Amino acid sequence: MPVPLIDFRWYHAVNDQNKLDNVLASSAKHTQLHAIEADIIYSEAKGHSVMGHPPQVDGELTLASLLQQLNEANFQSTSMTDTNANILKLDFKSMKALQASINDVENYLKDLPHQLHQHVWINADILAGPGGKGEDMQPKFDSVEFMELLTSETSLMKSTTLSIGWTTSLTDIYAPYTMDMIDEMLTLLRSYPCKNITFPIRATSVLTSWEALRKLYDNNVDENKRWTLTLWWSLTSEQHKMTKDAMNRIHSLLESDYQSILPNRTFYDLVNFSPP
C-alpha cells in the first residue's frame, strides 16, 4: 500500500557530510524516513555546485559527492515499491547552481530506474511571492528559462518532479499568496507538458490564502496524476513557530472531507507536526 502523503517523514538541510551520514544510517536501518531535502548553491571559489544555504557562498560537500553516496547506498532504488520510493528534494538556490548541476543530476538519474525519476524533486522559487517587495524577494531564476531547461525533450530531468514555488520573506510570515500570484504560476504552466508537479507553500500562509491556493488543487493534469502541495515550515522560536491549533486547522481543511478532491494531495514538511 502507498504511504499516505501525510505520513511522509522528512530530513531537512542535508548539506554536510555528518547529516548525510545520518540519513544513510537511517536508510540502512529502514527507519521511518521517506524524504530528504538538500540545498544547492554555486561555489565561485570551487567553480561547481556545493551543498549549502544562503547566505553561505561555499560548502565542503559537493552535489556530485552527495549524489554518488546516495546512489551507492541505493537510497531510492531499494524502496519497497515505486509508489513508496524515498523522495530526494534538491533545492536549488540560483540558476547558476542549477546549470552547473545538470550533468551531476542526469548521471544520478541514469543509474536510477526510470519509474523512480519522479521521486527526484527539482525545487526552485521561480516567482515572487508573499512577504515583501525588496531585492531579496526577487527570484534568482527566470521562470521561462527554468521551465524550458527542465522540460526539454533532450533532458533526463523532464521526468523528475518539479517543485516550483514563490519567494517568501520573514517580514510577515502570515502574508498571503494572492490570486495574482497563483494565476501567474498557472499561466506559466499552460505552456509546458508537466504532469509531475508539487507546489511548495509556506504553511503559515495557508489559512490566509485559501481561496487562492484552492486553485492549485483544482487544476489537474489528469485524474491519474494530480498536482500536490508541499507545506513547509521549520522555525520554532516563540516569534515564528506554528501553533498546534493552526496545524490542526490546516489538517481539518485539507484532509477531513473524503468526498472532496483534497485528501492525500498534500505533503506536510512541518517541524513538530503530527496528525490529530
- What does the pLDDT look like over 230-264, one tens digit per residue? 999 998 888 899 999 999 999 999 998 877 889 99
What integer pLDDT is reported at residue 20 of this predicted model? 98
Residue 118, SS3 per DSSP: helix
DSSP classification of residue 36: E
Cβ proximity of 195 and 262 under 8 Å:
no
pTM of the full predicted structure? 0.94
More confident residue, 90 or 235: 90
Separation CA 180–CA 177 (nearest Å)? 8
pLDDT of residue 218 exceeding 90 = no
pLDDT of residue 79 exceeding 80 = no
What integer pLDDT is reported at residue 249 of this predicted model? 96
Give the distance from CA 167 to its chain's centroid. Answer: 13
pLDDT of residue 175 exceeding 70 = yes
- Choose the weakest-confidence range: 14-23, 30-39, 129-138, 174-183: 129-138
User: Of the candidates 265, 253, 129, which has an alpha carbon nearest to the alpha carbon of residue 197?
Assistant: 265
pLDDT band at 208 (very low <50, low <70, confident <90, very high): very high
pLDDT band at 179 (very low <50, low <70, confident <90, very high): very high
pLDDT of residue 84 exceeding 90 = no
pLDDT band at 88 (very low <50, low <70, confident <90, very high): very high
- Choose the weakest-confidence range: 42-56, 142-156, 217-231: 217-231
